[in-house]
Amino acid sequence: MLFKNIAGQKCIVYAHDAVADAPKTSDANNITANVSKDGAASSPSNDVNPTEIGGGLYAFDLTQAEANCDLFALYAASTTANVKIDPVVAYTQGGAVPKATPGGAGGLPTVDASNLIAGVQAAGRNAIADALLLRDVSNVEASAGDHSLCYVVLAMSESNTVDQPGMLTVYKTDGVSEFVRKSLRTSPDADAVTGVC
């Protein structure tokens, strides 16, 4: 993965000797590359020759400017006969996954042994729960479905069976706009509900 517009990254290529059918080693001084950003015309890599890693692998150091694109392409070639190097084409990661260490400042959160977000203490979790309990259903009633928690809250506080006989009519928090209407099943032998304790 390449990070967009971040310095200090490397692009690794593999050099293959097509005649020997083996990795080509000790060829760094003969390998050069061009870089294309977002499909534009290419220009020579800032790193004139790569650093040999071993086993036919070579690393080009990329500048921040070379990584400043959404679509990155590097194609390398060797002046040594019969050496083949495939191009490297990659979409950069534009910031959705931070480069910072997970769990560190600016990094992705991690979880503890209980699968809770590490670093979020009980007070933080309680604050989230309190905010959830305090949130008014009026904030979501315009888009909530009739099988949502919003419906349950409204059915308990803003409904009746009088306005539409044989129906449970649930209203929005304004008490006027209808949220949903549900058919009721009744039994003549059942006791009427007169209140909630």
128: Cβ contacts below 8 Å, ≥ 6 apart = none
Element (H, E) at 181: strand 178-183
- Residue 165: CB atoms within 10 Å: 8
5: Cβ contacts below 8 Å, ≥ 6 apart = 64, 67, 68
| Spatial separation of the C-alpha atoms in residues 146 and 181, rounded to whole Å | 9
Beta bridge partners of 61: 10
Burial label, 92 (beta-carbon count in 10 A; 0-12, 13-18, 19+):
buried
Are 30 and 80 spatial neighbours (Cβ–Cβ below 8 Å)? yes
Rg from Cα positions in the chain: 32
Q: Which pLDDT tens digits describe the chain residue by residue (197 residues)? A: 888 998 999 999 999 999 999 999 999 999 999 999 999 999 999 999 999 999 999 999 999 999 999 999 999 999 999 999 999 999 998 656 666 777 777 777 788 777 777 766 667 778 888 888 898 999 999 999 988 999 999 999 999 989 998 899 999 999 999 999 999 887 888 877 766 55
Domains located in the chain, CATH noted:
2-93 (2.60.40), 100-134 (no CATH), 143-183 (no CATH)
| Spatial separation of the C-alpha atoms in residues 87 and 76, rounded to whole Å | 7
Q: Which amino acid is at 38?
A: D
Structure tokens at 13: 């290529």
**Three-state SS across 65-122?**
CCCCCCEEEEEEEECCCCEEECCEEEEEECCCCCCCCCCCCCCCCCECCCCCECCCCH
Burial label, 95 (beta-carbon count in 10 A; 0-12, 13-18, 19+):
exposed
3-state secondary structure of 132: helix
Q: With 0.85 as the threshold, say if the pTM is over it.
A: no
pLDDT at 197: 52
Q: Which residue has the tokens 């050069």?
A: 32
